[in-house]
Structure 1
Amino acid sequence: MLFNQVFFEDSISRAYYSMFYGARTLLLKENITVKTHRGLISEFGQKLVENGPLERKYGRNLRIAEELREESDYSVSREISTRRSQAGLEDAREFLEKVSNILEESE
């Protein structure tokens, strides 16, 4: 919806937060709590990518999404392109599908 209305920066932010909460859910299932975005990305990479069920691309995509979110939320001179925004949305969609599959398998 935000993407279709040309709010690329907002769509990047929402895509990242969907990934953030998906990653947080998986970490909570492992009884791991984090207090910061960087802490979440670090724990996600260590516990669920390096020593867990996820491929490296999910850790990389989460880190990139967080960097883009910071740029889009806080930089006054940075504009997110249509192509980069679309790629971010696709990464988030794939990430959430993977999270959903892991949660379904663990039930």
Structure 2
Amino acid sequence: MVLHVSRKFKKKTGYFPETFLEADFYELNNGLELVREKRGEDNYAKAIDMSARAKALFEADPDMKTGQAEEGIVLLDEISDLIRDARRRRVRAKLKDDLGEVSGD
């Protein structure tokens, strides 16, 4: 899973720009839910908490002037680290993915 974050969460179409941030975090949280079982309940709970905190930070600093948005970016990087670490553990444990391969997925 790769997190793609627009620094200002600006919707390029101009339609419903206020929903872009909501949609990004909806997708992130749904993605976390999809890998919940494989990544572990503790990692899932941590990632969901970090996601909520990051979203609040981006909402508080939409123009990236107070530094809160940068804190949100750090939290998103930490979510990526959690996912990467869980994948490494699955490979070390030789756990097979849905295709029967040891891939970390």
> If the length of structure 2 is used for normalisation, what is the TM-score?
0.45
Taking CA–CA contacts closer than 8 Å with sequence separation of 6 or more, which of the two structures ends up with the larger relative contact order?
Answer: 1
Larger helix proportion of the pair: 1
Which structure's CA Rg is the greater one? 2
Normalising by structure 1, we get a TM-score of 0.44
